[in-house]
Every structure is written in structure tokens, then in C-alpha cells.
Amino acid sequence: MSFEAKSLYPFQPERDLSQMHVGIIGGGPAGALTGLLLAREGMDVTIFEPRSKRMPEVGERKRLCVGCAGLLQENAIELLQSLDLNIPGEVIQAKLTNSVIHFPGGKTMVIPSHALTVYRGFGPVGTSEKIMGFDAWLLNEAEKAGAKIIEAQVTNVHSDGKNVDLESSVGSKTADFLVGAYGHNQVHMKLPEQDNPLGVPVTQPACVREYYLGYEKVKEKLGQSQHIFANPTPEIWYAAIYPKGPFISIALMGRNGASQNDYKDFLGLKAVQELIGDLEHMRLSCGCTSHITVRSPETVVVSNKEGGFHIANLGDAGGQRPRKNGIFASLDSAAKFAEVLRLYGNTPQAIKVFKRYITTNYVWDNWPSEVVLQSLDLFLNHEFPRKLIIYLGNGNVPLVSEAVRRTIDLVSSGRYPYWQIPMRAIFDIKR
């Protein structure tokens, strides 16, 4: 696959970026990939990330991950491959070939969909096995490409409008510009002009839990399927169960957020018990409540005095696909950022192209994603439209059945912007 954004703009001679120094806050997917790609261009790259990328020793207490279920959708894998980054087998915990959609009322639909599961951060909590997490692998790749990783948290950012100073517990660093890839965390920034403040994403709490069942049992119960539950309880609009090595991951998203209390109702559902048995009294290996973007900020870039990048926020800190496929969106915005710098240098043109991409691919989704959510309620909570969808999706009505299956796949995966779903469902546009 070739990365979609490349073909959108006319060919430009590549710029020499080797004199520039970028400071990156955060070594998650957005920060690590940005650092890796800019280091490949010869830029002087420093990534600040407080979590250690070293694999923990057996029995050592691990720093918790960012709170994510670790499902890598097909387009995230393709994007990495297009950049010559092949996820090693030891990082992959399951290769999925289909999604089983569970509807209210007990009916199901199987849709082919390719995805991988990985451990986020540095491997699973609750096992003594040494298993490499996705974030640790990507950060190591960034380091191999020449990025410097500083194991520290950035506490303050100062700017004079030309350079940025990043302050951390191990000292400060001056850079030509800053990439904010710090997820949904906040970093204190003191900028000279406040007329163009960075926007902040609107988020909601979402939960994940991991249970240890052992390799055999996970294989027997889930095989190569992810199980998605549409509107399973009055509070939860989306739940998913994934196989992940010897564990299963269960993620919950609510209409107005989710909490750990929501697991009681979800795990008590007949369909869930039939699938994975009674987990309610089983020891939880790991679980947390974290945040997911429901609306992207409109301003993700601050310009310097020459009109080039001074600060760019990427991934969860910047434009995101609301509620879905966050790892892909983080990798995608990182790849686009590196690409505009390579093609246009640190110029106003680079900012213009980058902003247009983030706006059309992410910011434009802010309201359509709400419409999708409301429409789902309309269809799924009423018996007649729900039965019609299940009948069409499981059937073979020419053109219509395929369009229904594609719509369900696009809504559940977040593979493309929500506003493009009607077009893609009807015309089967792959890219």
C-alpha cells in the first residue's frame, strides 16, 4: 500500500532538514513515529518519554501503559509497512481475521476484518513472561533511526517565538520547534503570544480490563475473532473483547463515558457469559479507566515568526478519529507531519498542507461522529430497523447486503473518517 496523502500534492524536491532540531514530548505512537521519520531525514531529534523503553525484568514492577486495548486496525499495519516498519512476531499477540458483531436481542453477524492485537507500553501486567509492547518496539526503532530518547517528563515549555526550551527533571533542551505528542495529558507551556492558543481535545472516560485465561482457553473461546457488542447495556454503546496472547482484553465505551462499574452489567450479559464464561469473580490482571477523544481541537499548530511550525500537536494531543482507531490516527498524523516537512521544509506552505489534512481527516469528523452515534441508537434500540439490518447484513440481497456489511465495518473500525462512510459504503472505495 502507498500512503494516501502522498498522492494528494504535486511532487516537490525533498528539503534538507539536517540543520534542524526538534524536541518531541511523548514517546507513544505519535511521538515515536514522528521522531523516527524525522531522524531518517537527518534531523536532530530528541524524544522525552518518562516510561522506560527497556523491557522490565521478570518480577519487576512495570510502569502502567497508556490504558488502551491494543487493537491495531489493518490500515495502521499498512501504514507502518509502507514506511518499512514490520511489526515483529514477538510484539503481535493475535492476528484477527473477522469481527463478530453482537446485536441487542442476541443475534450476531460476522464480518471479515483484519487486525492485530498488541500490548501497549511495555507488555502485560500480571505475568512474569517478558513480552515486548508495541510502544517499546516503535520507540526502539526511533532510536535505531537516530532519535535521542530522554527518559524524563517535560515539566515546562518556554518559547521566545523563535526557539522552544523544554524543561525536564534531567535538564533542559532547546529546539527549533516542538512536537506535542503527550496524549491527553497537559504540559505547561509559556508562549510569548497567546493569540493562537492550541486547542484541547474534548474527551470521555473509557475503560479497559485484561483477564488471564491462558493461551489454550483464549484460542478456544475467541480464535481469530474480535467480538464487538453494539449497545449492549443502556449506558454502554460499544464494547469489544479481543484475544491478546494468554489474555483477553475487554474495552467499554459509553455514550457519556464509561466507568469500571459498567463491567458488572456487561459481564453479566447472557451473550458475554456464553462467549467467555463467568469472569465476574475472576482475578483481574489489569484494568484502568483512561480517556478517549470525542472531539478534536481545531487549532493544533502554532506558527513561528517566519510562518513555519513552532509547535505541532499530534495524536491524542491533536486531531484524532473520535472514539475509534486512535493508534492509526496517531501514526497517520505523525507520518503526514514528517511528509510535509520533507516536501516543503519548515515553511508556511508546510503548515497550510498539514492543517488542511488534519481538518479534513479529523476535525471534520467532530459532528458526523455524533450523528453516527445517534443513528445507531435509532436503529439498534428499535426492533424493526434492527431486524432489518441483521436480515440484510446476514443475507444476500444484491448490492444492499454488501453495503450494510461495509457500513457496519466502517462504523465499528473507524478506519476512515465518519463523514466519508455513506460514500465508501455505497461505492466500496478502498483508499
Ligand X SMILES: Cc1cc2nc3c(=O)[nH]c(=O)nc-3n(C[C@H](O)[C@H](O)[C@H](O)COP(=O)(O)OP(=O)(O)OC[C@H]3O[C@@H](n4cnc5c(N)ncnc54)[C@H](O)[C@@H]3O)c2cc1C
Centroid of chain to Cα 121? 13
Can residue 408 be called a binding residue for ligand X (CB under 6 A)? no
Least separation in angstroms between residue 216's CB and ligand X is 24
Residue 248 interacts with ligand X (CB under 6 A): yes or no: no
Residue 185 as a binder of ligand X (CB under 6 A): the answer is: yes
Applying CB under 6 A, does 187 fall inside the site for ligand X? Answer: yes
| Distance between CA atoms of residues 235 and 134, nearest Å | 31
Query: Which residues are within 8 A (CB) of 408 and not within 5 positions of it... i.e. 6 or more apart?
Result: 101, 109, 111, 389, 393
Identify which of residues 136 and 353 has a Cβ nearer to ligand X in the complex: 136
| Closer CB to ligand X, 150 or 272, in the complex | 150
CB of 430 to ligand X, least distance (A): 20
Question: Measured on CA atoms in the order 108, 113, 119, 121, is the torsion positive or negative?
Answer: negative
Nearer to ligand X, 390 or 413 (CB): 413
| Sign of the C-alpha dihedral computed for residues 271, 276, 282 and 288 taken in this order | negative
Question: Does residue 69 interact with ligand X by CB under 6 A?
Answer: yes
Residue from 254, 315, 322, 417 touching ligand X (CB under 6 A): that is 315
Applying CB under 6 A, which of residues 251, 269, 271, 301 lies at the interface with ligand X? 251
The C-alpha cell of 52 is what? 522506560
Q: What CA–CA distance (Å, rounded) separates 200 from 303?
A: 17
Residue closer to ligand X, measured from CB, 51 or 386:
51
- State yes or no: residue 182 binds ligand X (CB under 6 A): yes
- What is the identity of the amino acid at 323? R
- For ligand X, the closer CB: 96 or 206: 206
Across-strand partners of 95? 116
Q: Which of 181, 312, 350, 372 binds ligand X (CB under 6 A)?
A: 181
Cβ distance to ligand X smaller for residue 288 or 392: 288
**Nearer to ligand X (CB atom), residue 316 or residue 339:** 316
Q: Is 183 in the site for ligand X (CB under 6 A)?
A: yes
Site for ligand X in 33-52 (CB under 6 A): 48-51
Binding residue for ligand X, selected from 62, 291, 336, 405, defined by CB under 6 A: 291
Q: Which of 4, 22, 31, 393 binds ligand X (CB under 6 A)?
A: 31
Stretch binding ligand X (CB under 6 A), from 228-236, 266-274, 325-333, 403-411: 325-333
Candidate segments 5-13, 78-86, 98-106, 200-208, binder of ligand X by CB under 6 A: 200-208
For ligand X (CB under 6 A), the number of binding residues is 39
- 129-168: which residues touch ligand X (CB under 6 A)? 153-154
CB of 97 to ligand X, least distance (A): 17
Q: Using CB under 6 A, pick the residue from 52, 82, 108, 290 that binds ligand X.
A: 290
Bridge partners (DSSP) listed for residue 101: 109, 228
- Which span (1-9, 25-33, 273-281, 418-426) binds ligand X, by CB under 6 A? 25-33
Q: Is 30 in the site for ligand X (CB under 6 A)?
A: yes
Q: Which is nearer to ligand X, 163 or 290 (CB)?
A: 290
> Interacting stretch for ligand X, rule CB under 6 A, among 4-12, 60-68, 94-102, 260-268?
60-68
The correct pick among 325, 346, 366, 412 for binding ligand X (CB under 6 A) is: 325
Query: Which residues lie near ligand X (CB under 6 A)?
Result: 25-31, 48-51, 66-71, 153-154, 181-183, 185, 187, 206-208, 251, 290-292, 315-317, 325-328, 330
